[in-house]
Structure 1
Amino acid sequence: MTDINQTSGEQAEVDPWAEAMNEQAAATQSDAAKPADPVFKALEDTGGNKALARTLDMIKDIPVTMSPILGKKKMTIKELLELSPGSVVQLDAMAGSPLVIMINNYEIAKGEVVVVNEHYGIRITEILTPSERMQNLIK
């Protein structure tokens, strides 16, 4: 989107990621019927406990690996060795199903693929509750 007051010669390049984030924020604000998701809110509210706040500040810089999983396929070594450029591998996920978002190999959310200015991104559609995450650990 560009400002309607700008002339064609002075239109600045617009950041498409900022537009996507603004669109998401507008959708979140307009969805007043849905209660706020308290899944990660408790970490920020330390209740005045300075030791806990300091501990949280220390762990915030720990790097984690985020892996979006489109689907999975079990195959034999023979099938793997037969793959070549142009081979098609059928995954267990149905077309249009959400991606599974893993953090350090633990499922924490689901999302959908978005494309912004020829770059892929992920829109988080659901964050698993702590009890759902515990059930996934048992599997």
Structure 2
Amino acid sequence: MGSEDGLRRILDIPLEVKVEMGRTKLLVNEIIQFGQGTVIELHKLAGEPLDMYVEGRLVARGELVVINENFGFRITEIITPEARIKSLGL
């Protein structure tokens, strides 16, 4: 079996991809008071790059775009393998 065969085997494996706008911590009391129109402040400034995670690991940063009437994500930076290893504390 060549390396091409091995690569073909993994190409159809589904991976979870998330794009994160920001995070915050809230008290349970604050969460149970949520209602329609509640605004939650995130610890990220407007215009800052969004983070993209694959299987829980940061792999890229980018920006929100609108495509027709859908949101999309434009990658502006790929996180280097060295930076990913450093973020793991290794």
Q: How many residues are treated as equivalent by the alignment?
A: 90
Q: What does 1:99-110 correspond to in 2, within 5 Å?
A: 99-110=50-61
1:138 is paired with a residue whose SS is coil
- The answer to which structure has the higher helix fraction is 1
Scaled by the length of structure 1, the TM-score of the pair is 0.61
Q: What residue in structure 2 maps to residue 35 of structure 1? A: none
- Distance in 2 separating the partners of 1:92 and 1:79: 17
What whole-Å deviation, never above 9, does each CA across 1:68-126 have from its counterpart, x for those lacking one? 00000111111111111111100001000011001111110001000021111110000
1:109–1:126 CA contact under 8 A, matched in 2:
yes
Larger radius of gyration: 1
- Distance in 1 separating the partners of 2:88 and 2:8: 26
Q: What displacement does 1:137 show?
A: 2.6
Q: Could you say which structure has the greater relative contact order, defined with CA pairs below 8 angstroms and 6 or more residues apart?
A: 2
| Alignment pair present for 1:112 and 2:63 | yes
Q: What residue in structure 2 maps to residue 72 of structure 1? A: 23
1:112–1:124 CA contact under 8 A, matched in 2:
yes
Q: What does 1:43-122 correspond to in 2, within 5 Å?
A: 51-122=2-73
| Alignment pair present for 1:126 and 2:77 | yes
Q: What displacement does 1:51 show?
A: 2.1
Structure 2 gaps, min length 5: none
1:68–1:102 CA contact under 8 A, matched in 2:
yes
Structure 1 gaps, min length 5: 1-49
What is the root-mean-square deviation of aligned Cα atoms in Å? Answer: 1.5
